[in-house]
Amino acid sequence: MDAITLLQKVRRIEIKTRRLSDQLFSGEYQSSFKGRGMSFAEVRPYQSGDDVRSIDWNVTARKRAPYIKVFEEERELTLYLVVDISRSTSFGGSNRSKRDLQTEIAATLAFSALGNNDKIGLILFAGSVEKVIPPKKGKKHVMRIIQTLLEWETQSEGTDVDGAIAHLLKIQKRHSNVFLMSDFLGPEPARNFKIAAKRFDLCAVHSYEHKEVEFPKVGLVPMRDAETGQVRWANSNSKAFSAGLKQRHQQKKEALNALTKRSGAGLVSVEMNEDFVPPLLHYLKTKAR
């Protein structure tokens, strides 16, 4: 992708997702993810009705009058976007792929976090972790994340979701909001996913394409595995072929649903050609209750 085309794509993503963030997501994001803990704000003179346990005895002794400590909720949070860029995410139509969908969702969440003055970090992974952008604040930082999502070329084979989560657990010790975006076509994450769900506010965003469930009946076609590059021929008119696709998708969906429920994580499933706004908003609203 040349520089001019890249800048145009970055700008289009910014316009679309920032509008969504400003109009729909910022309020829901803020109410869904509250600060953790309390931080000291100031001392002030004691007033009738104040909790005596809040008295600052050092200041009280100096001033020779009772003063109390005032605390406020720690509002600053960190949003981590952990995004699958394996070759299977390039699957889709001529105008949009699963990776394009994930980029739009990631950008919308990043702008929502930006409006909340939160830090945003990024992890890109396929068969291994390929790129990490540490959490920072600011529009310039968000634009860097969007540009990286658009231009990064996948370097490793396969999809190692559990390895990406393990890397996140290693570098991020504090509580954070984490959105894990993948088509989850690789091995199912297990132990690290459960650990991350306990440490973070974790939500799995599952992207899939309609043709992965119902392939058009066009006879004998070459089927290329986007992860391995292996090609095999399949009869798309075959009932067994169609049933196999649906069964595989249903099994993956049920396994992912069971994993997130056991772990206490959130789950958002989005078909590539659908509007991602309703399911994502539903998740945020449900979480805010």
The strand pairing partners of 224, in sequence order, are 231
| CA angle centred on 207, ends 255 and 25, rounded to 5° | 115
- Contacts of 194 by beta carbon, 8 Å cutoff, 6+ apart: 262, 263
Six token digits for residue 286: 């449900």
Q: How far apart are CA 101 and CA 280, in angstroms?
A: 12
Percentage of the chain lying above the pLDDT 90 cut: 46
The one-letter amino acid at 285? K
Beta strands in the chain, from DSSP E residues, in sequence order: 38-45, 67-73, 78-84, 119-125, 129-136, 177-182, 201-208, 220-224, 231-235, 266-271
pLDDT digits (tens, 9 = 90+) for 199-246: 999 999 999 887 766 676 767 777 666 566 677 777 667 777 677 777
HSE of 254, CA atoms in CB hemisphere, 13 A: 6
pLDDT digits (tens, 9 = 90+) for 262-276: 999 999 999 888 889
Rounded Cα distance, 179 and 203, in Å: 5
SS3 138: coil
Q: What is the pLDDT along the chain (289 residues), one digit of tens a residue?
A: 667 777 788 888 888 888 888 877 767 777 777 655 555 557 889 888 788 888 999 999 999 999 988 765 455 689 999 999 998 898 766 577 899 999 999 999 999 999 888 999 999 999 999 999 999 999 999 999 999 999 999 999 889 999 999 999 999 988 899 999 999 988 888 789 999 999 999 999 999 887 766 676 767 777 666 566 677 777 667 777 677 777 777 888 889 999 999 999 999 999 888 889 999 988 988 886 6
Between β-strands 67-73 and 38-45, what pairing exists: parallel, antiparallel or unpaired? antiparallel
Q: How many CB atoms lie within 10 A of CB 76?
A: 13
d(CA 261, CA 279): 17
Cite the DSSP H helix spans in 34-172.
57-63, 98-115, 139-151, 161-171
Domains and CATH numbers, the chain: 3-32+75-288 (3.40.50.410), 38-73 (no CATH)
Entry pTM: 0.78
Which is nearest to 63 in space by CA: 51, 81, 45?
45
